Amino acid sequence: MSGRLVQIGGISPVVPERPVPESGDMHDGFGRRIEYLRISVTDKCNLRCVYCMPEEGLPWLRREEILSYEEIAHLVGVMAGMGLSRIRITGGEPLVRRDLPSLVRMIRRVPGIDDVALSTNAVLLPELASELRDAGVDRLNVSLDSLRADRVDAISRRPGSADAVFRGLEAAERAGFTPIKVNCVVMRGRNDDEVADFARITRERPWHVRFIEVMPTGENLGVSRDEFVSSDEILAAVGAIGELRPVAGPPGNGPARYFAFDGAPGTVGVITPMSHNYCGTCNRMRLTADGQLRPCLFGDLQTDLRGPLRRGEAIEPLIRQTLRIKPERHWLVQGSDAGSGGLAALSQVGG
Ligand code: SAM
Ligand code: SF4
């Protein structure tokens, strides 16, 4: 991970801190209740999406740097005692990590955790969907940036992946993961002409299609500068095929705003980190694969939990410390890595 990231161990005089409750449920210094943790289980991936990872990959974490499943479950246990109730497992691509269902079972046994979701590119779902369901995954988000096989292959830069992705979506539905949330990062000239096609599916099937605005990271500055499409433009393209009304959307407490066509079984959502940021209602923190607790997806702040955990030190004070430094909002600028805090790719912190 980038050398620019600030490792917070104890009190750092350079980081603005705000007071937070010293016991009980997790609240940050802006009064936001934190009850959701996104856990990245690996920084590796079997795809190379153009907006995420460079084609040649990134300097991968070493095996000993990565938290074991026991260590992750222990940290979840500590945070569950502080009001954590919901988990999302992500990556990199979480399904490339061996025996992921056993982590799901361990997390499910933690008292207080009542919702376990997973984000995946679906490539390995044909083999794993049923086992993940049996292990206790409640919901799946699947990344799908095009409905056309050649474009899925081109955007993921892994020829042949489209076939596995489409079979993975079917396997997920067969395993009982309905409704499925589909995440689509919209890029000008690559898939923006498919927005209406995605939306049409929500009239036929209980899919919740969420269009995501591309966010700038160190590795995607060209895409984020030249191919950004705003949610207003996306909703205009969807609105051209039928009238949309705002709806509550599926369970999951994410930041998406949802809409639906009359009588449709599915919904259309937009996730708008750039054009309309939703930091004011942020309810989450992130745990990276190497045990860094990040109060914000972006920015250069994180607290090392792995070292203290392996030395047998108390973890709760470090979590309170991270709450004290949780920033009010992100400061992303399209086409610039000024606000991303030295982050090369979302795959490094779990997206
Ligand atoms: N590999 C899994 C997947 O693709 O769903 C999980 C990790 S991925 C980093 C999580 C989500 O972040 C995906 O929906 C992906 O499309 C999205 N994502 C990655 N980089 C992004 C970027 N720069 N801007 C917006 N969304 C991004
Ligand atoms: Fe892999 Fe997900 Fe990043 Fe695509 S978005 S390269 S599938 S981690």
Read off the pLDDT of residues 213-263 as tens digits, 9 standing for 90 and up. 999 888 898 999 999 999 999 999 999 999 999 999 887 657 889 999 999
40, 59, 155, 219 from 54: Cα distances, Å = 19, 11, 12, 6
Q: Within a 10 A sphere around the Cβ of 74, how many other Cβ atoms? A: 17
Instruction: Check if 349 has its Cβ closer than 6 Å to any atom of ligand 2.
Output: no
Q: N- to C-terminal Cα distance for the chain?
A: 15
pTM, rounded to two decimals: 0.93
Phi, psi (degrees; rounded to nearest 5) at 37: -125, 130
Q: Which domain holds residue 300?
A: 2-348
Give the per-residue pLDDT at 9: 40
Gap from CA of 343 to ligand 2 centroid (Å)? 15
Instruction: Check if 254 has its Cβ closer than 6 Å to any atom of ligand 2.
Output: no
DSSP H or E run through 182: strand 180-186
Instruction: Check if 273 has its Cβ closer than 6 Å to any atom of ligand 1.
Output: no
Instruction: Check if 53 has its Cβ closer than 6 Å to any atom of ligand 2.
Output: yes
Nearest alpha carbon to residue 49 among 128, 127, 162 = 162
Residue 45: nearest ligand to its CA? 2
Angle separating helix axes 125-135 and 161-174, nearest 10 degrees: 30
DSSP H or E run through 117: strand 115-120
C-alpha 104, offset from chain centre: 17
C-alpha 330, offset from chain centre: 15
Nearest alpha carbon to residue 288 among 125, 99, 72 = 72
Three-class DSSP category at 212: strand
Give the per-residue pLDDT at 275: 81
Phi, psi (degrees; rounded to nearest 5) at 260: -150, 155
Gap from CA of 90 to ligand 1 centroid (Å)? 9
Structural domains counted in the chain: 1
Nearest alpha carbon to residue 116 among 76, 170, 172, 74 = 76
DSSP H or E run through 264: none
The residue contributing the CA closest to ligand 1 atom 17 is 351
User: Which DSSP state fits 336?
Assistant: B
Residue 271: nearest ligand to its CA? 1
Instruction: Check if 183 has its Cβ closer than 6 Å to any atom of ligand 2.
Output: no
Instruction: Check if 47 has its Cβ closer than 6 Å to any atom of ligand 2.
Output: yes
Residues of the chain with pLDDT under 50: 1-13
The residue contributing the CA closest to ligand 1 atom 2 is 120
Give the per-residue pLDDT at 328: 83
Per-residue pLDDT tens digits for 175-194: 999 888 999 999 999 999 99
DSSP H or E run through 118: strand 115-120
The residue contributing the CA closest to ligand 1 atom 8 is 351
Write the CATH number for 18. 3.20.20.70
Probe target for ligand 2 pocket from 38, 44, 45, 97, with the most ligand atoms within 8 Å of CB: 45
Nearest alpha carbon to residue 323 among 79, 9, 89, 26 = 26
Give the per-residue pLDDT at 253: 56
From the number of C-beta atoms within 10 Å of its C-beta (0-12, 13-18, 19+), residue 11 rates as exposed
From the number of C-beta atoms within 10 Å of its C-beta (0-12, 13-18, 19+), residue 30 rates as middle
Instruction: Check if 319 has its Cβ closer than 6 Å to any atom of ligand 1.
Output: no
Residue 92: nearest ligand to its CA? 2
Instruction: Check if 92 has its Cβ closer than 6 Å to any atom of ligand 2.
Output: yes
